[in-house]
Structure 1
Amino acid sequence: MVKRLLFAFACFVTLLIVSATTAYASYGIYVGSERTADGSVLIGGTGDEVSSHWLKIEPRQKHGPDETIEVGVTGEATFPGELIEIPQVEETAKYISMDYSDYEGFPAPLTNGGLNEHGVAGRDIWSPSRQALIDMTPEPQRGPNYSDLSRIAMERATTSREAVEIIGDLMDEHGYSTYGGNSHMFADNEEGWVVINFAGGEGLWVAERLGADEVRMSYPGYIGDIPEDYQDDPDFMGSDNLISFAEEQGWYDSDSGEPFNVHEVYGDQDAPMRSETVEEIEGRLTDMGSEVTVNDMMATVRDPIVSSDTNGYGQVARLTGDRRHDDLANLWVAPTGSVTAPFIPWYIGATEVPPEFGEHRYMTKGAASNFLNPDYQSQEATEFAGRTFKRLMYHTCEHPDKFLPEVNEALEAFEEDMLDEQQSVRDTAYALYNAGQEDLAQEYLTTYSTERAMEGLELGQALLGSIEARTEVLYGIREPEGDQINSDGETIDCNPAEDSE
């Protein structure tokens, strides 16, 4: 208990250190194919934002030759900017993501990535730049923001390497609108990449390849030493000025004989490159050798060390070489923090999201000052999965020693049943595709994911009802002592060391 309390305190201190740059801390985890039990690549994580989140299946679309997309940030952002138009491509890919409604003057809907029909998965993770770069950020700034880059990568990339090249080209041509520094993690069934976009308005970016034998947690996104000929090295990419700009500022001397360490040169100078959280989780997964499973990745994303009320969702993608049909790839998504919410498998072939998992007014920007749009009346009338599992989280995390083990046991058993049936689901869908019944195959995958999602919601309702009733009998509903319902920094987590019992 003492060890866990000290570790939780260290995590809290780490978050405080970076709070001046970014209020919350999304994360991403990569496990290469030589580290997994079935030879797949695993990538998972979450997005942490004060906002509503909802599942979105964006279809493949064709676009006109003169069509453009609006990118950037508004004057309401922490670092004010101006929106600009950039060209859209002729055709964009189908992808699954969790969208959300509000962050720092960044136009909604926002995304941190997801999974596209080409089997490319993406995560978006904070990565604070050094203060001197933050101070250089022009006003107004122009260029795509982190969400624009993530969405465009999902729309266009056919490999994780191509996702990096797309982001680099966009920054080189159109600039970049920052909130203080950001990173991306991309993966396909062969490799992964970490990309860092730096503040400062100088177009600085760098990327490092993650191989088949690697484990990486971005929390925040980090890159260490890179070779000076990084642009000629297949394991690295970056802007042309990556090293030359650092030399101009006196932050690096190429004649010193010292390696160019990205974090030491461009990262937050008051924070370690790898936090204790990163060392703990990377070490835990590495110690599993070559036996990491999807279950292990789900358990890692669910760990209360990093899964809490700040999570908007949880995601896990298993990327394999089984490309019989693009529609057979799936993304496991928890509708809010997965510490008390189940992962549901959503297939690329699915065409609809049940209204319970779609957009609702809970935590949506503008909900407190506007009435409901009648167009959303029916959808809003349904139970919102995100809100249900938030309530379950709040009751569970009030007394985690008592309730968290049973919630985890139920969620893991539910997920285990779904994991066992995935091969059968893919085989059935493929047989329909192979017989030329594409519409029927997509209907089958849509029905499957929808039914499992509703079963997960029913499980959440049962757990919530049981735990709420026992909380009232065993402990009573604790009354708040203050008069401010909104937090001024402290957040809810399910760490047993914080049990209020």
Structure 2
Amino acid sequence: MISFKKQLLLSMIYTFILVLLFQSTALSCTTLIVTPGATIDGSMLVAHSDDNHLIDQRIIYVPAMDHQEGELRPVYCSAAAIDEFPQYASFFYPRINATDRGPGYNTPGFPQSIPLGYIPQVAHTYAYFDGSYGIMNENQLMFGECTDGAKVQLDPKPEKLIFYSSELSRVALERCKTAREAVELMGKLIDEYGYYGTGETLPVADPKEAWVMEMAPSPDETGGLWVAKKVPDGEIFVAANQFRIREIDPDDPDILFSSNLFEIAEKHGWWKAADGHLDWLKTVSLGEYNHPYYSLRRVWRLFSMVAPSREFSPWVEDGFTRDYPFSIQPDQKLSVRDVMMLMRDHYEGTEFDLTKGIAAGPFGNPSRCYGPNDGQGDVGNPNRELLGAWERPISVFYCGYSTICQGKADLPDPIGGILWVGLDKPSETLFIPFFAGVQSLPLSFSQVDTAQFSRDSAWWAFNFVSNWANLNYKAMRADIALMQDKYELKMLELLPVVQKTALEIYQSNPDLAREYLTNYSTQNAEFLVKEWWNFADQLIVRYDDGMFSEPKKMAQQVGYPQEWLDLTDWSQGPITYKKRN
């Protein structure tokens, strides 16, 4: 029997190999904000795809807590920042193992997380949903996230550089009710306690107001650099692994920034006053992340889908293009279901359609499995030779989970806030709602180990269906779409009824309303996960051995499309007894 220590060592070696192979895909996400004036029902929407199969896929509920005067809050290292840090017991799984974060983060059999430092604790912290990054709290404060290339990338330093964006977002969710309050707190923490890791974009919103905060390590290796910009109501913001804030006007009330930004930029030759307004993107980064169009293609795609009248071009001069504004007005207002569909995109119907061409195989599979022969690597090495690169879609095969946070100002926070969770790849998942006022999450969502298949895990249900669809993507994607329509549309139809009932209870007994919302969210989620496992079993039979089966018509031969056969040597097969020339 292999000892725990040996298992842990083997796991670390395996993970290290994966990081070497896939370092450019391990930390890359797509995120967007849809402000109330741009939505059909006046909701604030913040979406995020956590595109990282290496990292802990658990969705954790962190309860509200009361703390003693003089108590300190530990700040833990994050493997999502750059890599695993065994010296701080910071691993891809579990991301945190600490009893001070509630029962969800108590993972037996693993070492306890070691703090990089401490900050003063507050008397009361709010409940929130947590993933690789903080997601949403009980006050309808919500986050998105994407990793960006930066000129400087630093390792954590205890007591000196202790914050990465993940812990910043968690502290904000623990202590804040509004987006501006969260931005100001995170900026203060960066200034005082230091920032390490990669460049980061954090969309942060409440039901009324949305901000985008971007941050990067400082070349002085102390403190950090950050800026934040308010998203105008009625507009949509998109980011995809590249900084999106440009000019920093010190007189603009809708822009905030670190007090040392101009000083540090000038000191290191990144900017000078004669240049005019400091361009944040050009100042702290080398442009686009990974390879040309890795980031900008997704920005173009989302903008072109929500505002086709703008006729944005997918082709730009370079990674510092100004062709795509910070935010835009959509041609038509969006619903939460519209955002779900945006997150499922593979450039269908465009010249970049990943369901077309020889690489998609005979059944139009949009997944492109990356390896050592692909164009990879951060923009930190712009002179590397690129021999080829796949288009990077919004819905990518290595997505671990995606979230859509929905906030409504006209309802009490526990009822108006909804977290829609889609486990695994957005295009093949089901978005499942949890109200901000719930007091727990189903165990199947918070107990996930991607190193061990389990039918007790909700994540594995959706991951299995997504992987099984690779056998015949075109056919199974149609089956999946029918299931998504069936359940997502039904949930959207029922939610106003649930909210109305909860509101009636809340007016006389807020605690009972939270209990009602918890029971509804849990029972609904458990039902849907069970349905997805049943669906998975049906797909196994229906598409067994490359054929199609249904009751009384089993093992129907499907074969390959003629247009794909024409690309192969099929026509040169043994159709005569003559020797092939």
- For the criterion TM > 0.5, the same-fold answer is yes
* 1:172 aligned partner: 191
* 2:342 aligned partner: 300
The structure 2 residue matched to 1:248, chosen from 257, 263, 267, is: 267
Partner SS state of residue 66, structure 1? coil
- Unaligned stretches of 5+ residues in structure 2: 1-20, 89-114, 309-329, 347-392, 549-563, 569-581
Deviations 1:154-176 (A, max 9, x none): 11121111111111010111111
Question: In the TM superposition, what is the alpha-carbon distance from 1:340 to its structure 2 partner?
Answer: 1.6
**Alpha-carbon separation, structure 2, partners of 1:53 and 1:227:** 36
Tell me whether 1:206 sits opposite 2:227 in the alignment. yes
Deviations 1:87-145 (A, max 9, x none): 11111111123x3xxxxxxxxxxx31211122111112101112xx23x7686762212
Question: In the TM superposition, what is the alpha-carbon distance from 1:223 to its structure 2 partner?
Answer: 2.8
* 1:449 aligned partner: 521
Q: How does 1:103-182 map to 2 (within 5 A)?
A: 111-130=132-151, 133-134=152-153, 142-178=161-197, 180-182=198-200
AA aligned opposite 1:463: F
Tell me whether 1:96 sits opposite 2:129 in the alignment. yes
Q: 1:212 to 1:404 in 2, by over 3 A?
A: same
**Alpha-carbon separation, structure 2, partners of 1:340 and 1:237:** 38
Question: In the TM superposition, what is the alpha-carbon distance from 1:241 to its structure 2 partner?
Answer: 1.6
**Alpha-carbon separation, structure 1, partners of 2:78 and 2:513:** 42
The structure 1 residue matched to 2:118, chosen from 77, 85, 90, is: 85
Deviations 1:258-296 (A, max 9, x none): x32111111234546961111111221234523211110
Tell me whether 1:467 sits opposite 2:536 in the alignment. no
Partner SS state of residue 59, structure 2? strand
- Unaligned stretches of 5+ residues in structure 1: 1-17, 100-110, 368-379, 477-496
Question: Which gives a bigger RCO, structure 1 or 2 (Cα 8 Å, sep 6+)?
Answer: 1
Question: In the TM superposition, what is the alpha-carbon distance from 1:381 to its structure 2 partner?
Answer: 7.8
Tell me whether 1:37 sits opposite 2:40 in the alignment. yes
Contact 2:156 2:162 in 1 (8 A): no
**Alpha-carbon separation, structure 1, partners of 2:231 and 2:36:** 11
Tell me whether 1:278 sits opposite 2:306 in the alignment. no
The structure 2 residue matched to 1:66, chosen from 70, 80, 84, is: 70
Q: How does 1:231-242 map to 2 (within 5 A)?
A: 232-242=251-261
Question: In the TM superposition, what is the alpha-carbon distance from 1:427 to its structure 2 partner?
Answer: 1.0
Q: 1:463 to 1:308 in 2, by over 3 A?
A: farther
Q: 1:177 to 1:419 in 2, by over 3 A?
A: same
Identity of aligned residues (%): 26
Tell me whether 1:418 sits opposite 2:519 in the alignment. no
Dislocated runs of 4+, deviation >4 Å: 18-22, 74-82, 136-141, 270-274
AA aligned opposite 1:355: L
**Alpha-carbon separation, structure 2, partners of 1:342 and 1:79:** 30
Q: 1:427 to 1:221 in 2, by over 3 A?
A: farther
Q: 1:22 to 1:452 in 2, by over 3 A?
A: same
Partner SS state of residue 350, structure 1? coil
Contact 2:138 2:413 in 1 (8 A): no
TM-score (norm 2): 0.68
Contact 1:122 1:150 in 2 (8 A): yes
TM-score (norm 1): 0.78
168-177 or 272-281, which deviates more: 272-281
AA aligned opposite 2:122: V
Q: 1:34 to 1:228 in 2, by over 3 A?
A: closer
Question: In the TM superposition, what is the alpha-carbon distance from 1:78 to its structure 2 partner?
Answer: 4.7
* 1:222 aligned partner: 243
Tell me whether 1:408 sits opposite 2:426 in the alignment. no
AA aligned opposite 1:96: F
Partner SS state of residue 412, structure 1? helix
AA aligned opposite 1:329: G
* 1:261 aligned partner: 279
* 1:13 aligned partner: none
Contact 1:33 1:190 in 2 (8 A): yes
Contact 1:328 1:347 in 2 (8 A): yes
Aligned Cα RMSD in Å? Answer: 2.9
Count of residues paired in the alignment: 427
AA aligned opposite 1:64: Q
AA aligned opposite 1:430: L
Contact 1:73 1:177 in 2 (8 A): no
Deviations 1:412-453 (A, max 9, x none): 2201100111111111011112122x3432222112111211
Question: In the TM superposition, what is the alpha-carbon distance from 1:459 to its structure 2 partner?
Answer: 2.5
* 2:210 aligned partner: 192
Partner SS state of residue 25, structure 1? coil
**Alpha-carbon separation, structure 2, partners of 1:390 and 1:381:** 11
Contact 1:117 1:348 in 2 (8 A): yes
Deviations 1:59-83 (A, max 9, x none): 2211111221222538996597881
AA aligned opposite 2:258: S
Contact 2:40 2:333 in 1 (8 A): yes
Deviations 1:430-482 (A, max 9, x none): 1112122x343222211211121122112312321122223323259xxxxxx
Q: 1:137 to 1:95 in 2, by over 3 A?
A: closer
Contact 1:79 1:139 in 2 (8 A): no
Partner SS state of residue 352, structure 1? coil
Partner SS state of residue 450, structure 1? helix
The structure 2 residue matched to 1:397, chosen from 461, 470, 476, is: 470
Question: In the TM superposition, what is the alpha-carbon distance from 1:185 to its structure 2 partner?
Answer: 0.9
AA aligned opposite 2:64: R
Contact 2:430 2:484 in 1 (8 A): yes
